[in-house]
A and B are shown apart, each in its own frame.
Chain A
Amino acid sequence: MSPQHPETAPALVVDNLRKTYGNGVEALKGISLTVQQGDFFALLGPNGAGKSTLIGILSSLVSSTGGDARIFGISVNQQRNEAMKLIGLVPQEINFNQFEKPFDICVNEAGFYGIPRKIAAVRAEKYLKELRLWDKAYHQARELSGGMKRRLMIARAMMNEPRLLILDEPTAGVDIEIRRSMWHFVSGINAAGTTVILTTHYLEEAEQLCRNIAIIDHGTIVEDTTMKRLLAKLDVETFVLDTAEPVSTPPTLDGIALRRVDERTLEAEIARTHDLNSLFAALSAHGITVTSMRNKTNRLEELFVRLVEGGRNGAKEQAA
């Protein structure tokens, strides 16, 4: 492919990327995907799918065994340094020196990118404040809580003001309030023009934040589409219904599978083509009053499980 201009090229083009580790594990089996400039992109997949391997290759920590990736048109293989200038990385594992202070960690990080100390000090203060770490700026990093450490890695990744921010499970083990504040921060960064790639196992997070999505499993892309289109694929939804009175045997309804969970709880699997009004009408007709209703799982989660499990079963059948 011909080199593209950094201003117009996609933020990321992954081209038939492969990785076989030294121990023989084939973590990526030739994957391709494109992330447009300004996108908020979800990279999802079960444990061991190859997400961190892909991110490792993009940040040059892992060397690919085939294919290439281009960051704003710049090849990671051929122009590593130029490509790295454009990336900010929040890795999955804590990787700063625990004996250093957050302020120094951020200022040094900027130094590695060639940013003079004066400018770096201003930026460090700005981002540590935005991530609500300023009161810890001069404490040893090991004194930070787990959630603070994750935020510190986000602040650090912002020091070179990257055009592409890659977050590998930034919210793992982070409480809901802090997670929300992280979402707020990252959404703001994205709104200001930074392209964001997010890996997470909290699917409601991906559903809320991301516009486009790729699902990777066993080193291959099993889905690469927009969030809207993916959610539209969900043909059946499962609702949990709480009833006013105990229900001994759930009625049989047309096109709706009803299951009794306990005395006052029912589960209803409804095809998307079916409307909910008919469900309530049918239940009323059987003398059942519904007091509350919720989705059994988040919609994306339901899809995710189907996609990934579908892939697994398919693979098993092939193997058999």
Chain B
Amino acid sequence: MSNLSANLVAYRTIARREIVRILRIWTQTLIPPVITITLYFVIFGKLIGGRIGTIEGFTYMQFIVPGMVMMSVINNSYMNISSSFFGAKFQRSVEEMLVAPMSNWVILAGYVTGAVARALAVGVLVLVVALFFTNLHLVHPLIALVSVTLGAIIFALAGFINAMYAKKFDDIALVPTFIITPLTYLGGVFYSIKMMSEPWQTISRANPILYMVNTFRFGVLGISDVSVGPALLVMVGFVIALGVLAVHLLKRGVGLRS
């Protein structure tokens, strides 16, 4: 058997195991984000949003849907990979993969696939919920799909790297608390940065999540605070950089091999 076909079998095994896990504990993986987002829609979209005028021709509810989807995608991708991979480290079942004759990228790709699958499933569920509150039609479906997938991959890679370094479960909560949550709230989920005065507009442009939210918003509504082409390229750049870093850390066995 060639190494590539053996690696592909191994990749499918990990990806499948991850997806089975997501479905097995669906009440922890798929339901909570939908409940949270429904509350956001009720409070910000309906109750408060009704008093806010339109933004670039869209109701406030319509405006926040893409950001909400991207926010759930990012969070669920990150949480899935970090808790699953750290869990495997904690139970030592990661050793099953570490002693097997597969390449490091296979482990990474398998886990990233699981995280992206959950992120996209949650993204679709959130979109479906949104349709109960407002009407939407995807302006650029391909861009919507590409941007949401890139966002999911970026945070899957970040979550994987975090889990490699993590020594206890608390360590994997650091990134969501100190990085993801503040950056999403300040990343134009709830507002257009055009509404801000300087220097805040310029400062906001240093926030990577702003680009993810806006490229996806462009895919859904056709409006964006940033240029979409360069933003997508930067996201691809992040995927490559984090992917290379993760494979390098796996090769060195950081946090995994003594």
Q: What residues make up the interface of A, taking CB atoms closer than 8 Å to B?
A: 21-22, 56, 59-63, 80-85, 87, 89, 91, 93-99, 104, 108-109, 111-116, 156
Contacts and interface: CB of A to CB of B under 8 A. Distances in A.
Contacts of A21: 258
Nearest to B7: A114
Nearest to B94: A95
Given A60-B257, A87-B99, A113 B93 contact: no
Contacts of A99: 24
Contacts of A82: 101
B48 to A, nearest CB: 41
Contact of A63 (B1, B93, B97, B253): B253
B165 to A, nearest CB: 15
B96 A96 contact: yes
Given A111-B10, A114-B7, A95 B93 contact: yes
Interface of B: 1, 3, 5-7, 9-10, 12-14, 17, 20, 24, 87-88, 91-93, 95-103, 253, 257-258
B1 A114 contact: yes
* SS of A interface (majority): loop
Nearest to B258: A62
Contact of A56 (B20, B96, B258): B258
A81 to B, nearest CB: 4
A196 B253 CA distance: 27
B3 A116 contact: no
Nearest to A58: B99
* SS of B interface (majority): helix
Contact of A113 (B5, B6, B14, B95): B6
A108 B96 contact: yes
B16 to A, nearest CB: 8
Nearest to A63: B257
Contacts of A87: 99
Given A63-B253, A111-B10, A114-B7, A93 B99 contact: no
Counting chain A CB atoms within 10 Å of each CB, the highest count among B13, B87, B257 belongs to B13
A81 B10 CA distance: 13
A114 B102 contact: yes
B151 to A, nearest CB: 29
A61 B102 contact: no
B98 A111 contact: no
Nearest to A21: B258
A60 B12 contact: no
A60 B91 contact: no
Nearest to B102: A112
B9 A115 contact: yes
13 contacts: A60-B99, A62-B257, A63-B253, A95-B92, A95-B93, A95-B95, A95-B96, A99-B24, A108-B13, A109-B96, A112-B13, A113-B6, A113-B102
A82 B2 CA distance: 12
B12 to A, nearest CB: 7
Contacts of A84: 99-101
Given A81-B3, A97-B88, A98-B91, A111 B101 contact: no
A111 B14 CA distance: 8
B13 A111 contact: yes
